[in-house]
């Protein structure tokens, strides 16, 4: 199979990043970033669809397929896969998200060829043996139960399902006991054939490698993948958020779990650094407003934070806290008070600078390993179609003003768009929409 070089000369090559890309003739995009100062190579096969691209009837199938590829291929048993990876000291892993599935491995640079051989075999030649499917159903059903027993996870899941009500984005990545119990070999094969297509995949790698030589290796392994676009998920319109107040009573819990959230910009929004900085100041660390006010000053919670969940066409900003039932309404009141402050008072230059320094540091430190660079390559390609260097990101962060933060806070923090979930031994507690005024 021939290799077609596409846009390679247009890729940014700076003192900090040496990124190149090649498109194989079957449509598979191969991305590399050379990091000659390290001795590792991380590589990943990324599928550009996740749980939100599933139908309701097969909710959880992306995650199920992710598990099943490790159970055996046409040429390797699960035990052989494990032994070969251990023999080369590799770190083989996979994960499923709302919008992607990734199969990845990290090895010493001298072991790229055998690692790529195992990784490609997993991705390209799974068997989905019926007996393995039945066995794995039990494993995933236990995983679902385990998560349901985790109150931190459960409150987020309940919040999400009600916030994106009726949309695939709100469904659990793991699926449900009902959907998972209905999977069989043919269901998996049909789904796999539709999603694991070259034009719905990206293969990224970072570390001590040379692009052309690496592409030749990838071509040998993935060149046989049919250039079919059939079944690639059609990206649907952005879902409509549903403001809700959900009180889920669970008497066995000692704490009340609180999740308060609202719509936020999508991953590629031009204001993304504004919202990241606002999130950092609100609840992104030990110096954040929520941590200082609710934990340090008042001692009302051990765990309190805010987080961004950006997707390709929408997003959410959520505040989480775990506290006792008699302190719950006070924690909610103080949280809303901090949201109101961001709307009504311009943050100081000193606080904004601290947030900028924290965000820049986290981003730079997070890019120091070959694994993080590999993931960054794939995500930037999928969401932006281009690659941002560290200097460019730093410049965009520095460009955010105090007025930008206040303007976005006024846009996002509206009581009528907020959603609240409380989970725990709530007794007779009631929360009304007017209680979310900010």
How far apart are the C-alpha atoms of 138 and 130, rounded to whole Å? 13
C-alpha 136: how far from chain center = 24
255: nearest Cα among 305, 299, 318, 303? 303
Structure tokens at 247: 């009180």
Q: Starting from the edge strand earliest in sequence, which strands make up the sheet with 315-323, in order?
A: 245-249, 419-424, 256-263, 315-323, 303-310
At 72 the pLDDT is: 96
Handedness of CA 85, 86, 87, 90 (dihedral sign): positive
Residue 386: C-alpha distances to residues 10, 141, 363 (Å) = 10, 39, 18
Structure tokens at 125: 């030649």
On whether the CB atoms of residues 264 and 282 are closer than 8 A, the answer is no
* Active site (annotated) includes residue 396: no
Out of 3.30.830.10, 3.30.230.10, 3.40.50.300, 3.10.270.10, which CATH number does the structure's domain 18-223 have?
3.30.830.10
At 17 the pLDDT is: 80
Question: What stretch(es) of the chain map to CATH 3.30.830.10?
Answer: 18-223, 244-436
Is the pTM higher than 0.85? The answer reads yes
Return the CATH architecture of domain 244-436: 2-Layer Sandwich (3.30)
How far apart are the C-alpha atoms of 67 and 44, rounded to whole Å? 16
Structure tokens at 411: 């846009």
- Which residue matches tokens 């940014």? 12
pLDDT tens for the chain, 438 residues long, are 444 444 453 344 444 689 999 999 999 999 999 999 999 999 999 999 999 999 999 999 999 999 999 999 999 999 999 999 999 999 999 999 999 999 999 999 999 999 999 999 999 999 999 999 999 999 999 999 999 999 999 999 999 999 999 999 999 999 999 999 999 999 999 999 999 999 999 999 999 999 999 999 999 999 888 876 554 556 677 899 999 999 999 999 999 999 999 999 999 999 999 999 999 999 999 999 999 999 999 999 999 999 999 999 999 999 999 999 999 999 999 999 999 999 999 999 999 999 999 999 998 888 889 999 999 999 999 999 999 888 899 999 999 999 999 999 999 999 999 999 999 999 999 999 999 999
Q: Which one of 66, 136, 219, 221 is the catalytic residue? A: 66
């Amino acid at each position: 199979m021939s290799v077609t070089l596409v846009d390679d000369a247009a890729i940014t090559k700076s003192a900090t990043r040496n990124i190149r890309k090649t498109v194989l003739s079957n449509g598979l995009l191969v991305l590399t970033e050379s990091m000659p100062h390290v001795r590792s190579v991380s590589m990943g096969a990324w599928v550009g669809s996740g749980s939100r691209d599933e139908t309701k009837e097969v909710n959880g199938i992306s995650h199920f397929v992710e598990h099943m590829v490790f159970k055996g291929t046409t040429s390797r048993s699960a035990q052989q896969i494990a032994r070969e990876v251990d023999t080369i000291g590799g770190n083989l892993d996979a994960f499923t998200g709302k919008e992607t599935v990734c199969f990845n491995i990290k090895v010493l640079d001298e072991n790229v060829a055998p690692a790529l051989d195992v990784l490609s075999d997993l991705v390209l030649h799974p068997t989905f043996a019926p007996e393995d499917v039945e066995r794995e159903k039990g494993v995933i059903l236990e995983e679902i139960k385990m998560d349901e027993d985790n109150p931190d996870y459960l409150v987020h899941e309940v919040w999400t399902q009600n916030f994106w009500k009726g949309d695939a984005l709100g469904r659990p990545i793991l699926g449900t006991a009902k959907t998972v119990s209905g999977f069989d070999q043919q269901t998996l094969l049909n789904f796999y054939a539709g999603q694991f297509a070259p034009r719905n995949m990206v293969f990224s790698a970072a570390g001590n490698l040379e692009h052309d030589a690496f592409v030749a290796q990838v071509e040998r392994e993935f060149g046989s993948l049919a250039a079919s676009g059939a079944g690639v998920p059609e990206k649907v319109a952005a879902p409509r958020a549903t403001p809700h107040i959900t009180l889920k009573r669970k008497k066995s819990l000692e704490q009340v779990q609180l999740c308060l959230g609202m719509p936020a910009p999508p991953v590629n929004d031009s204001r993304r650094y504004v919202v990241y900085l606002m999130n950092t100041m609100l609840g992104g660390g030990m110096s954040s407003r929520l941590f200082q006010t609710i934990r340090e000053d008042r001692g009302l919670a051990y765990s309190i934070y805010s987080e961004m969940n950006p997707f390709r066409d929408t997003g959410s900003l959520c505040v989480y806290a775990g506290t006792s039932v008699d302190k719950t309404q006070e924690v909610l009141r103080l949280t809303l008070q901090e949201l109101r402050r961001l709307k009504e008072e311009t943050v100081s230059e000193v606080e904004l600078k601290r947030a900028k320094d924290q965000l820049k540091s986290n981003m730079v430190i997070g890019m120091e390993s070959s694994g993080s660079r590999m993931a960054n390559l794939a995500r930037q390609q999928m969401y932006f179609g281009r690659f941002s260097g560290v200097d460019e990101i730093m410049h965009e962060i520095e460009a955010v003003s105090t007025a930008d933060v206040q303007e976005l806070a006024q846009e996002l923090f509206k009581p009528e768009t907020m959603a609240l979930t409380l989970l725990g031994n709530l007794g007779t507690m009631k929360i009304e929409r007017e209680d979310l005024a900010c």
